[in-house]
Amino acid sequence: MEVISKPEPYDAIVVGSGATGGVAAWRLTEGGLRVLVLEAGPALKGGHSTYGSQGTNMMRQVFRHFFSDRQRVQETHPGYWESNPDLFVDDKDNPYTHPKDQPYHWIRGRHVGGRSHTWGGVCLRFSNYELKSSSRDGWGEDWPISTEDLSPHYEGLERFFAVHGSREGLEQLPDGAFVEARPLTSGEQVMKKVVEEKFGRRMFISRGIRARRHHEKGEKFTKLSSPGTTLAAANATGRLTLQTDAVVSRVLVDPNTGMASGVEYVDRESGERREARAKLVFLCASTIESVRILMSSKDANHPEGLGGASGVLGRGLMDHISSNNWFFMPDVPDEPGHELLGSDSILIPRWVNVGSDKQPFMRGFGMWGGIQRMPIPGFLRRKRGIALGFLCAMGEALPNPDSRLVLDENVKDRWGLPVPHLACRWMENDLAVAKAGREAAIEMITAAGGVMATLPDLLHTPLIGEFMKGLDDLSNRSPPGLFVHEVGGARMGSNPKSSVVDPHCRVWDAPNVYVTDGACWVSSGWQNPTLTEMAITARAAAHAVATLRGEEPAKVVAA
């Protein structure tokens, strides 16, 4: 991929190279546009130097835990202990603030591919239960789009990534264009029988990508990552330019036209400020970063930042409220050889507040997990020869206007930019959803013969035992941010007085700026967000290409 050293005119600038940035680059270049992708971090070499190995990663993790304080936030995420810690940011160089009584765990990766390198690969569609939830319970607003609007873009992505799954005919979890479903383990079959016969709920193998978080032999990057998939497809068009080490500070807006002319960025190594120009700007920097860029894009016409005229910019920051429930099944032997992958896991989709079911709280939760798939080396296991499992309850958090992001002008990052101040808290309804989800998980696990356990019950961790106990306590009810499903802050809508972007993700204040990552979300749903974020991005890219061509955007569908 070409790397530039000076500003040039482009058709589109894409800020960020992760899951959504990769899709934007792919769809825009496929549509014939010359695209510049700006990535705040460095390029990765791929292979062992990027993903490491179980042994070398463990040595890095333990060393940094004891001898460095530069990843104190990052190491609170379980995925940190399953990956190369170099795939997570340095907290000292990338600070943020939050109220003392409202902890927020912002988990990040700043490099080409971003968090797509540590993505699990679960791919779930949203239904109109999520997109039109306000019409059912009266909280907040409906999304200005429906699952029918996203369906062709979901399908294009499912085919591109070869998503595995079974067709279940559930209204609350739409089917997709799947290749054959993966098999359940014997322990998962035991649980499925109990869940469906005793509780009348549905359980099946998850929908997702069958790819490891480490590269396969002969490949530089995993098939979960954008460098191994969408960015590679964009690069193959010959119309992609990638600029690394470009920390975008703000969007540049022409005061005469009201349209964006490009972006300003800081060179990560030299600190030099530079500009890049284009006809379109796609913000795909991740939820919090994209909102930060909008807020920093202040001028005489936008004193509250680009998109700030509505008064809702930065408001409605959400994450899933979740609980991990660990257990073992003493009567079920272990089955070596299974992996925990996007499509090799289990799913119990939302059943509460669906159809005639009514619960004393709004929205709901679903379950994701696995049995006999625990990625734990044998020498660390306390329970050997029997099935280990976990079941994670993923609860929808309500959009709360008081959970918000503002700029902290008193604290600067390494590049002199004001950092986000994240004031996000769980509401009473969120806590009720989490409590119900945990109780339901324990009820099903116990009925299937499982015995509840903690991480210290299952693992030998002689050096970091107390720390792992702390992680286990965090996972029982995760604080905002820790589940890494953060969305909101620049929500889409049909009215510029109550939203930041329109139904095609264009900023009302400057309609050639698209915000297509999680920032544009109206509500969180209970499902893993990545597939929907990518579908929203693909839809916006189709709209942008059609608009530049002078075509009717409404008639454009995904390939």
Alpha-carbon span 505 to 550, nearest angstrom: 18
Q: What tokens were used for 413? A: 């990052």
* pLDDT of 473: 67
For the entire predicted model, the pTM comes to 0.95
Q: What is the 3-state secondary structure (H, E, C) of 75-139?
A: HHCHHHHHCCHHHCCCCCCCCCECCCCCCCCCCCCCCCCHHHHHCCCECCCCCHHHHCHHHHHCC
Alpha-carbon span 297 to 513, nearest angstrom: 12
* pLDDT of 554: 55
CB 26 within 8 Å of CB 1: no
Q: How confident is the prediction for the chain on average, in pLDDT?
A: 93
* pLDDT of 463: 64
* pLDDT of 332: 97
3-state class of 505 per DSSP? Answer: coil
Q: Is 181 exposed, middle or buried (0-12, 13-18, 19+ CB in 10 A)?
A: middle
Alpha-carbon span 98 to 105, nearest angstrom: 10
Q: Which residues of 86-121 are buried (b: 16+ CB within 10 A; e: fewer)?
A: bbbbebeebbbebeeeebbbbbbbbbbbbbbbbbbb
CB 501 within 8 Å of CB 520: yes
Which of 192, 434, 177, 454 has the alpha carbon at shortest distance from 326?
Answer: 454
Q: What tokens were used for 333? A: 């032997």
Q: What percentage of the chain reaches a pLDDT higher than 90?
A: 85
| Segments in the chain below pLDDT 70 | 1-8, 462-475, 552-559
* pLDDT of 479: 92
Note the pLDDT tens digit of each residue in 211-259. Answer: 887 888 788 999 999 999 999 999 999 999 999 999 999 999 999 999 9
DSSP state of 191: H
* pLDDT of 8: 63
- Work out the number of other CB atoms within 10 angstroms of the CB of residue 122: 21
Q: What tokens were used for 13? A: 């600038």
DSSP state of 182: P
CB 490 within 8 Å of CB 290: yes
| Strand 240-243 with 204-205, pairing | unpaired
Q: What tokens were used for 55? A: 């042994």
Alpha-carbon span 125 to 525, nearest angstrom: 10
Q: Sign (positive/negative) of CA torsion 495, 501, 507, 513?
A: negative
Note the pLDDT tens digit of each residue in 45-101. Answer: 999 999 999 889 999 999 999 999 999 999 999 899 889 999 999 999 999 999 999
